[in-house]
Amino acid sequence: MSTAPLPEAVVSPARFGRLEHRGVLLGLSVTQLVVVGVATFVAVTGVYSAGASGLLVAAPLWVTLLVAGTVSVAGRPVVAWLPLLAQWRVRRATGSQTSVTSARARSIGDGLVLPGIAGRLAIVGCDALGGALIADRRAGTVTAVLRVHGSGFVLDEVGAQEHKVAAWGRVLGGLCQQPSIVRVQLLMRIVPGGLSPARAWWREHCTRTTGVSAALASMLDDGFVVPHVRETLLAVAVRSPQGHRALSADGTATVAKQLQAVATSLSGAALSVQGWLDRAALARTMRSAYDPDAAAPADETAAALVGPMGIDEHWDHVRLDTSVHATYWVSEWPRSDVHPAFLQPMLLGETTARTATVIAEPLSITKALREIRRAKVEHIADAAQRARIGQVEAEATRAEVADLDRREAELVAGHGDLRFTGLFTVSAPDLPTLEQRCVALETAAAQSMCEVRRLVGQQGLAHLAAAVPLARGVL
């Protein structure tokens, strides 16, 4: 009698939808169709007015318009590049990409002033939460930052990995059931520092001053030994109960209950909640987001300076004080089923100053179904037009339609829908080092089967969304 071998246990794979490239007609957007229509009008007018010679005379104009309306550069249509280039030229001409501010305007005591955010963010203490709330009156949101710690995943057995993946899915599903939550930002970063416990222990236990002990104490105090630490933050933005007005005591209590519900749900996903950040912790965290190397030696106390003193934004990077940063957008997640630990090369690779951010924005079922059905109608109309002119449908288009059908079936079955955005920020003390670390990130992204795109022309806003835990999203 023989027995069949038991099937090998595997973790349920992760599946991502494709980046949608749909358009109104033949994959072209409204703007592209307008440009192509103008090019056609110019060409036809030239033919009717002067025949072939008129077509040739007007060729520089209608050919330029036709190329601008149909050609894509770096995954983006030419007509989509024009507003970005125009805005960048205007900012360069007016000097708005460079600024130098006073340290007095950066204090976190009475509020928070950060580049890229209009107005002042109010900092409100919350005793019920044990931390601080960041109120943005213009956006009508209140944000709190939670420090969490995981028990590991890569070295767990298959059963434990499957349990953690399912538990995290339940956490995300719970976010969709809370209409007050606007956005959630999961921020995993590697920053220099982390010697505060070592310094405290040394001052408490080492009372004798010898040659070796004095040298070690000097190395600790001067920041000569600066190890890198990994930390995970979860920023949760909820709607302010008072809208655009200041938070009252009742409003603060309401927000605290909503945020505590999110923290409670994390315990079921094998995540250790280490507490909400208070004013001092927020100051340290934001300061290290702008200038990690300069903030590392001063990790024992909250710095009075929170935001950067100087900003110099370039086309493909931004300089903030003594650090240089470059932010990437994950334009394509893996196109095939992958293991949940597929981001391991990007998260656990080189120990350099790097920040990974995943922004999740819950969508209501009504809004998600409306977007899906609108997209399906556009695909149906596009397919009919392709069949009329004899154009073959691309496999990528069929994959997008299959993703839409899958999303709609999941929504009908009662699942929630979230819009994910992935951002990676690389930091370095100088530009040559930054370029080396950017190459390492791009290599790690290829190993993770992700496509990353450098956000040129908007590095300032991209850094704000990716490296600062405010759950503001991509502007």
pLDDT cut 90: percent of the chain above it: 11
Distant-in-sequence, close-in-space partners of 116: CB < 8 Å, separation ≥ 6: 460, 461, 464, 475
10 Å CB burial of residue 237 (0-12, 13-18, 19+) is buried
Quote the pLDDT of residue 76: 78
Phi/psi of residue 224, each to 5°?
A: -65, -40
Which residues, in sequence order, are CB contacts of 27 under 8 Å at separation 6+?
21, 382, 397
Structural domain boundaries in the chain? 14-90, 97-368+408-467
233-284 confidence digits (pLDDT tens): 999 998 887 655 556 777 788 888 888 888 888 877 778 888 899 888 888 8
Residue 48, phi then psi, degrees to nearest 5: -70, -25
Share of the chain above pLDDT 70, in %: 81
| 147-169 exposure pattern, b = at least 16 Cβ within 10 A, e = fewer | bbeeeebeebeeeebbbbbebbe
Confidence (pLDDT) at 2:
44
Confidence band for 357, pLDDT divided at 50, 70 and 90: very high
* Structure confidence at residue 472 as a pLDDT band (50, 70, 90): confident
| Strands in 159-242 per DSSP E | 181-192, 228-239
**pLDDT tens-digit series, residues 115-125:** 878 778 888 88
Higher pLDDT, 276 or 31: 276
The rounded mean pLDDT for the chain is 79
CA 358 to the chain's CA centroid: 5
pLDDT surpassing 60 at residue 104: no
